[in-house]
Structure 1
Amino acid sequence: MQIAPISPNSAVSGNYWQWQGHNIYYVRAGVKQPQRPPLLLIHGFGASTDHWDKNIAQLQETFEVWAIDLLGFGRSAKPNLQYSGNLWRDQLNDFITEIIGQPVILAGNSLGGYASLCVAAECPNAAKGLILLNSAGPFSDSKNPKKPNPIQKLIRSVLLHPFPSYLLFQYMRRPANIRKTLKKVYLNQEAVTDKLVEDIYRPSCDEGAVQVFASVFKTPQGETVDNLLQQLTHPLLMLWGSGDPWMNAKQRGEKYRQYYPNLTEYYLEAGHCPHDEIPDEVNRLIHDWVMSH
């Protein structure tokens, strides 16, 4: 089955769902496929459903595709809460149960990968499979625990205070600085478009966005990736942008194989967000893997 080319006019209209009193934004594309589960796409930190536009445009030709803005991001509400993998796990599990109505294949990038892993491992009835793209999350390492150096401790203690974290947020969310950061984590500089910068900048203007940013420094470490992998029973596809400056993909991939040897993985010529940087290749790999399981 062929994947259709990306259409530049493939924007999908979204809807809102009330979850625990908060507005949650999501999109749905394609039609239900009785012979295969839907896909649920989950963005990374600071991103949104918009980051999956190129993937939805193609994958909707073969699959029912959903994407959701995690609480605190995109067009979803940004309440002043303690954000954590457990919170997003519960949000995604409830969304799958209440709105999609059947188990899904979860696909998550970065922070969204960690949230997806939490769902697939701890709410196994909600998932049929798991696709991780440069997935974030802590590994436990009892032999060589990494202690923050004094500078890191100082930065963390300063950013726990509202005013310094507000100043840093204001600096980081400037469109010029968003563009600069993206150019560091995308190998293909042409993929860093005005639309991409705007898609990340726009939600940062919402009420509550600064508190979500600050919560990153306050949230206690969640369940470790190795513990989650030891609970996982679903098929796992790992897609790595090998040029990611934020993580050593090869080294991290070895750790995933250590705890979950029965996985499929590919190392791609891309940075931290391969789904957006090289969508044709990522969409083809997702398509072929899902169709073979």
Structure 2
Amino acid sequence: MTVKAITVPRWGMSMSEGKIAGWLVAVGAEVAAGDELVEIETTKLTGVYEAHEGGGQLRRILAEEGTVRPVGALIGVIADAAVPDAEIDAFIASYVFDEDEDGASAGPKEERVEVDGYQVNVLRAGPAESEELPLVLVHGFGGNADNWAMTVAAMSPARPVIAIDLPGHGKSTKLVSDPRPETYAKIVARVLKALGVSRCHVAGHSYGGLVCAILAAGNPDLVASLTLVDPAGLDAAIGEDYVGRFVGANDRRTLKDVMGLLFEDTRLVSRSMVDDMLNYRRIEGVQATLEKIAADLSARAGTFGTLPAGVAGRTLVVWGEKDKIFPPGHMERIPGAAEKHVVAGVGHMPHVESPDFNRLLGDFIARHA
């Protein structure tokens, strides 16, 4: 068996280092693909690093709890029990990780695509040449491509991954004249065409789920599989008046309380996360675009639409059990023969709060290759 490195992953473009919050297995323990190994903190979130393909024994821990290591740094080693200690020691001594010009290991790369007069920011990760279909990720209202950081890290070793900042969000053009989900679905389709993507797996969260459902309905040959994560548009009610409160929140305390509605574990709402959101909200064009989206959502809630039979049969719906924005009962209104899962103990952001999400997504994609 090859000796396998455990390294600090990059969860987001701005991440340069991670703090070891705690190891979840001890040296000598047998681990398999998907097992949770270590919790790592960043300024924006605390995530769990999982064992990748294969398995073996945790032979070394090289970064104890509380230590900070740069992205890409070696923090542990997995190998069969039969691998000699000398071979493990030689692997550690010779280990070198690639660094970019900023000193951080290579991660997702940013790219700008011009579509319909908008500059659309795209994060691309994974192998440049691959027989696997790419996975396309679309964030929710007020979010950005970095919301998918843990999914990008989990999925990109095996396939190309493309995370898109919808116009009005992230690093894309901020002022959008007609920010409706139909508009965004057309923009996403044209971005993918510009990138040379003719078929892909698509996953959308919340408002992005509504966008992706419209995309799939209008472009069934493009979408090999569709994953909807706590999607919007299924009911006239929006819990806790989240959208209205988010649009109206102009100070740190208020915004932190509103963002806390997204999570069951509100400790995930860090000061850095709130500061980043405040800075984004203050950019010219953002508030006007968010207000237009909010007004449109209020008018259309409960008009999700119908997925074509062929698309519904390759659709996965994932919902957080504790979602305060859209309760999991909404999933029963998804038309057609979609596969449905509730993730226990998490809120509106299961792709952030639970590693179970990436396992569900990975298994589903593998069945619809």
Could you tell me the TM-score, scaled by structure 1's length? Answer: 0.80
Structure 2 gap ranges (5+):
1-31, 36-48, 51-68, 72-104
The one of 127, 134, 142 aligned to 1:31:
127
Name the one with the larger strand percent: 2
Task: Give deviations 1:211-239, integer Å, cap 9, x for gaps.
Answer: 11220344353893242456735511111
The share of aligned pairs that are identical, in percent, is 22
The unaligned stretches of length 5 or more in structure 1 are 140-145, 153-158, 160-164
- Whether 1:175 aligns to 2:260 is no
Say whether the 8 Å CA contact 1:47–1:199 is kept in structure 2. no
Higher helix fraction: Structure 1 or Structure 2? 1
Counterpart mapping for 1:1-293 below 5 A: 2=33, 5=49, 9=71, 12-32=108-128, 34-138=130-234, 169=247, 171-219=248-296, 221=300, 224-228=303-307, 232-233=311-312, 235-249=314-328, 251-256=329-334, 259-278=335-354, 280-293=355-368
Q: 8 Å contact 2:136–2:200 — kept in the other structure?
A: yes
Structure 1 residues 4-13 or 191-200, which shifts more? 4-13
Q: 1:223-276 CA deviation, whole Å, 9 max, x = no partner?
A: 932424567355111111010111221x212222xx212424333321011111
Indicate the residue corresponding to 2:60 in structure 1: none
Q: Do the aligned partners of residues 35 and 193 (structure 1) sit closer, same or farther apart at CA in structure 2, a change above 3 Å counting?
A: same
Q: 2: CA distance between counterparts of 1:226 and 1:121?
A: 9
Are 1:130 and 1:234, in contact at CA under 8 Å, matched by a contact in 2? no
Q: Give the C-alpha shift of residue 181 in structure 1.
A: 1.4
Q: Which structure's CA Rg is the greater one?
A: 2
Could you list the per-position Cα deviations for residues 137-164 of structure 1 after superposition, in whole angstroms to 9, with x for gaps in the alignment?
A: 146xxxxxx79xxxx9xxxxxx9xxxxx
Amino acid of the residue matched to residue 251 of structure 2?
R
TM-score (norm 2): 0.65
Residues 3 and 200 of structure 1: is their aligned pair in 2 closer, same or farther, counting only changes over 3 Å? Answer: farther
Structure 2 letter corresponding to 1:271 = G
